[in-house]
Amino acid sequence: MALDEDLSQRIMNIYKPYLSLDPTYFNDFSNFISKVIYKDNDNSFSLQYKLFYGIIASTTIGLEVLALDFENKFKLYGGEISWLQEGIKCENIPKHIKSFAKINDILAHNPRIIHWTHFGEFDNGLTFFVFQSAIILTTIHRYATIISALNIFVKKDIMDNKFTDTNEINKFIENNEINKLKDKYILNHIEYEDFNWHGEKCLYVDEFDWKTNAKYFFSDYAEKEMDFLEKEFKSLDSLSNNINDNENIFNKKNAIEKYVEIVFGIQDREYDYKNTNKTLTINLKTLIKQIACFPEKLQEENLDVLLQRIDKNNLIRLIFLVTAIKQKICLTFFAKAFDEFFGNKKKFNH
């Protein structure tokens, strides 16, 4: 694929028609992406680091066009070329970037297995870097998942001859080189595994959750990124308040959130999960799990089959909603593991 500095704009032009259902929210999401990834919010966290995170994060989701876009920007903004030539094993890549690259795949596919020992590789004084990294990576995972999922719409419109330049558009959904990119940039290949309710400890929300615990860690250590994230989450939370259509997927947000949480091993003792079963059909649950757990496979789906479960507008809304919920879950597990690391570190010091 030929790359140029306008690739990001070309990507946005292709996917924007599918993202305009709720224009206010889409604008908030676009601003959020711009501020978290491309703005230099903290001089200690260079743009080079962020763009390299863009490469590894979009690669683990399996989205070639976005990984190549970040590669292109990395070159344009003067990134160290040896990082691209040799990949994640390059000796010039700082130790703390490599250490976080190991967590990248876990955050994308199986966040519940993040363990406090993962933080043992980071030197003292890197706590701010660690929490900023988590927000940046999960934001890119979410961005890549959304675009990956929207490729099913692009493929259908190509088949229906709705694009004038089919050859050009096809370049954006080709994934021919993704395995090479994964070999180059991914340190540990992780795949989603179903939570074993009989053999694994569940994380209960009354012990540690996003609202009461996790978000305060991020507010302390990644203040600017957290401000952007909270504003974007609030924008999403407020959408259903003005919706009168009972079929609108945002009216089912609570049930969807509880279902995604339980898929990843988080449970609310005070919530009656019978409500989830009443609200969400089996087909809808299957689709939610696909978005949350197998984002790299979404672009392989057949749109006609998916539209038998849910209409086009609500499918797009569901993609946005589930990816936002998953980001909260990933960051919650991350903060919980760090909390345990901090506690164990105190024990060792004594």
Structural domain includes residue 2? no
- Show the tokens assigned to 50: 């962020």
**Average pLDDT of span 17-42:** 71
Q: What pLDDT score does 343 carry?
A: 76
Q: What pLDDT score does 40 carry?
A: 55
Q: Is 36 a residue whose pLDDT tops 60? A: yes
Whether residue 111 contacts residue 329, with contact meaning beta carbons closer than 8 Å, is answered with: yes
Mean residue pLDDT across the chain: 86
Structural domain includes residue 194? yes
Q: What is 33-84 written as a DSSP string?
A: HIIIIIS---TTS-HHHHHHHHHHHHHHHT-HHHHHHHHHHHHHTT--HHHH
Category of 160 on φ-ψ map: left (φ > 0), alpha (ψ -120 to 50) or beta: alpha
Q: What pLDDT score does 5 carry?
A: 46
**Average pLDDT of span 135-163:** 89
* Dihedral angle of Cα 154, 156, 159, 161, to the nearest 10 degrees: -60
Structural domain includes residue 76? yes
Q: Is 122 a residue whose pLDDT tops 60? A: yes
Q: What pLDDT score does 267 carry?
A: 95
Question: How many percent of the chain have pLDDT more than 70?
Answer: 90
Structural domain includes residue 33? yes
- What is the per-residue pLDDT across 217-274, written as a single tens digit (0 to 9) for each? 999 999 888 988 888 888 777 766 556 666 788 889 999 999 999 999 999 999 999 9
Rounded Cα gap, residues 93 and 75, in angstroms: 15
- Show the tokens assigned to 300: 């392989």
- What is the per-residue pLDDT across 43-97, written as a single tens digit (0 to 9) for each? 557 888 999 999 999 999 999 989 999 999 999 889 999 999 999 999 999 988 9
Beta carbons within 8 Å of 14's beta carbon, 6+ residues apart: 154, 169, 172
266 beta partners: 203
- What is the per-residue pLDDT across 163-218, written as a single tens digit (0 to 9) for each? 777 877 887 788 888 999 999 999 888 999 999 888 889 999 999 999 999 999 99
- Tokens 């960051």, residue? 331
Structural domain includes residue 120? yes
Name the more confident of 208 and 152. Answer: 208
Bridge-based pairing state of the strands 266-267 and 203-204: parallel
Structural domain includes residue 116? yes
Beta carbons within 8 Å of 119's beta carbon, 6+ residues apart: 130, 337, 338, 341
Structural domain includes residue 1? no
Structural domain includes residue 34? yes
Q: How many domains does the chain have?
A: 1
Q: Containing domain of residue 195, as a range?
A: 7-230+239-349
C-alpha dihedral sign at 234, 236, 237, 240: positive
- Residue among 48, 29, 53, 255 at smallest CA distance from 147: 29
